[in-house]
Amino acid sequence: MEISSLAALSLGFIFVGSKNGDVSSTMLQTIMEKHESNDKGLDEKWAKFFVLGLALLFLGAQEESDATIEFLKAIDHPISKTAQVLVDACAYAGTGNVLKVQTMLHHCDDHVGGSSEGGKDEKDEKADDTFQAFAVIAISLIAMGEEIGAEMALRQFNHLMHYGEPVIRKAVPLAIALVSASNPQLPLLDTLSKYSHDNDLSVALNAIFAMGIVGAGTNNARLAQMLRQLAGYYQKEPDCLFMVRVAQGLVHMGKGTIGINPFFSDREIMSKPAVAGLLGVLTAFIDAKSFILDKYHWMFFFLVPSMYPRFLITLDEDLHSMPVTVRVGQAVDVVGQAGKPRTISGFQTHQTPVRLGTTERAELGTEEYISFAHVMEGFVILQKNPGWEKEDKMDV
């Protein structure tokens, strides 16, 4: 099962968001056959990666995933519920679809009703609740597209943290990390800092990892300080200490030049491989004891597809690096405003190359050059403004 799950996952990574019919039908067939032959493989810890591979094929597919979800409903096995949640979440990733978020919140609520009536045997109870952890992550996956949705999701996570079952609670830090990867805002850091001292060690562990993801590649001094304190606090807990060290590494990723936020081009376009990489790691963390802390610590490397340098490098038309002055500041949403509103607020002026934070935007300091790209991000090719020198001479 381990090998087939990892094969399914790698197919998911390769064909991410392609809705490839051959691959998805083969995966569904495999699940069906394993279920019919009463193969114990579907009960193993690896099965969640198998269905994640299937879900990644439908990343951003929206309605086109419906047929797959209907097919999964026909399979009477706990893993089918997990698969439905995952496929649904991936299909609407980054859309901010409110109805889907509601559906996922209903999933989180399911179990609470079931266990209070009693009458279920213990075995059933255990196998049943993985899908709830995925439902929590699904909320953040759907809401991470825009800021308002992400903020509302964070409030929901607060409620889930207070009233949820253990399986939901340990997924909440991961979901928070997904909503704002490489975007360390103070309220978030305080929340995660609180969770990182939780009585339930698996919640604490995931919260520490989430701190790493939220601050990945930002060199955030406040966060680095928190992690140093945590390292002292968890001296006697090898697992948590290991996690603190990893989180410290993530915060200083690439000496602060690499971010893992899956949105680029002014946070409008979602990079599918990046989302796939983040989901791969978060899935491993839903059951950290049997993956990351066992002998599968290499699962951290699933993060690699989502790492991307957060640079602005300006080049001339012959692609030689050319330093110009740019203004870097917090991005302001100016959609639909009349005239020429300021697109950034509170800027500082730098020479390129410069590093852009997740919520920052750059614009050229002078009109000496014209940019070919409409979004100042990554490599930008500049052209000399033909009308520039004449104005200069007139001033003289």
What pLDDT is stored for residue 115 in this prediction? 46
* Of 314, 395, 312, 293, the residue nearest 357 (C-alpha): 312
* Of 194, 281, 197, 205, the residue nearest 239 (C-alpha): 205
Residue pLDDT, tens place only, 258-272: 889 888 888 888 999
**pLDDT band for position 126 (50/70/90)?**
low
Q: Measured between alpha carbons, how far is 115 from 166 in angstroms, rounded to an integer? A: 13
Q: What is the mean pLDDT of residues 230-238?
A: 92
Tell me the residue length of the chain: 396
- CB contact set of 175 (below 8 Å; sequence gap of 6+): 136, 137, 139, 140, 153, 157
pLDDT over 50 at 205, yes or no: yes
**pLDDT band for position 318 (50/70/90)?**
very high
- Are 136 and 175 a contacting pair, CB within 8 Å? yes
pLDDT, averaged across the chain:
87
**pLDDT band for position 375 (50/70/90)?**
confident
pLDDT over 50 at 120, yes or no: no
pLDDT over 80 at 110, yes or no: no
pLDDT over 90 at 373, yes or no: no
Q: Which residue has the tokens 């991961």?
A: 174
pLDDT over 80 at 396, yes or no: no
CA torsion sign for 124, 279, 160, 221 is positive
Residue pLDDT, tens place only, 137-178: 999 999 987 888 889 999 999 999 998 888 999 999 999 999
Q: Measured between alpha carbons, how far is 201 from 180 in angstroms, rounded to an integer? A: 23
What pLDDT is stored for residue 324 in this prediction? 93
What pLDDT is stored for residue 267 in this prediction? 82
Q: What is the mean pLDDT of residues 35-55?
A: 88
pLDDT over 70 at 128, yes or no: no
Query: How many C-alpha atoms does 307 have within 13 Å on its Cβ side?
Result: 18
pLDDT over 50 at 117, yes or no: no
pLDDT over 90 at 99, yes or no: yes
Q: What is the mean pLDDT of residues 257-286?
A: 90
52 residue type, one letter: L
- Are 234 and 273 a contacting pair, CB within 8 Å? no
28-37, 134-143, 362-371, 386-395: which has the minimum mean pLDDT? 386-395
Q: What is the mean pLDDT of residues 121-125?
A: 41
* Of 99, 94, 109, 185, the residue nearest 146 (C-alpha): 94
* Of 278, 156, 292, the residue nearest 214 (C-alpha): 278
Q: What is the mean pLDDT of residues 282-306?
A: 89
Q: Three-state SS across the chain?
A: CHHHHHHHHHHHHHCCCCCCHHHHHHHHHHHHHHHHCCCHHHHCCCHHHHHHHHHHHCCCCHHHHHHHHHHHHCCCCHHHHHHHHHHHHHHCCCCCCHHHHHHHHHHHHHHHHHHHHCCCCHHHHHHHCHHHHHHHHHHHHHHCCCHHHHHHHHHHHHHHHHHCCHHHHHHHHHHHHHHCCCCCCHHHHHHHHHHCCCCCHHHHHHHHHHHHHHCCCCCCHHHHHHHHHHHHHCCCCHHHHHHHHHHHHHHCHHHHCEECCCEECCCCEECHHHHHHHHHHHHHHHCHHHCCCCCCHHHHHHHHHHCEECEEEEECCCCCECCCEEEEEEECCCCCCCCCCCCEEEEEEEECCEECCCCEEEEECCCCEEECCCCCCEEEEEEECCCHHHHHHHHC
Which is more confidently placed, 189 or 78? 189
What pLDDT is stored for residue 118 in this prediction? 37
What pLDDT is stored for residue 334 in this prediction? 80
- CB contact set of 135 (below 8 Å; sequence gap of 6+): 85, 89, 104, 105, 107, 108
User: Taking the complete model, does pTM exceed 0.85, yes or no?
Assistant: yes
Q: Measured between alpha carbons, how far is 258 from 343 in angstroms, rounded to an integer? A: 24
Q: What is the mean pLDDT of residues 41-70?
A: 89
What pLDDT is stored for residue 157 in this prediction? 92
Q: Measured between alpha carbons, how far is 193 from 95 in angstroms, rounded to an integer? A: 29
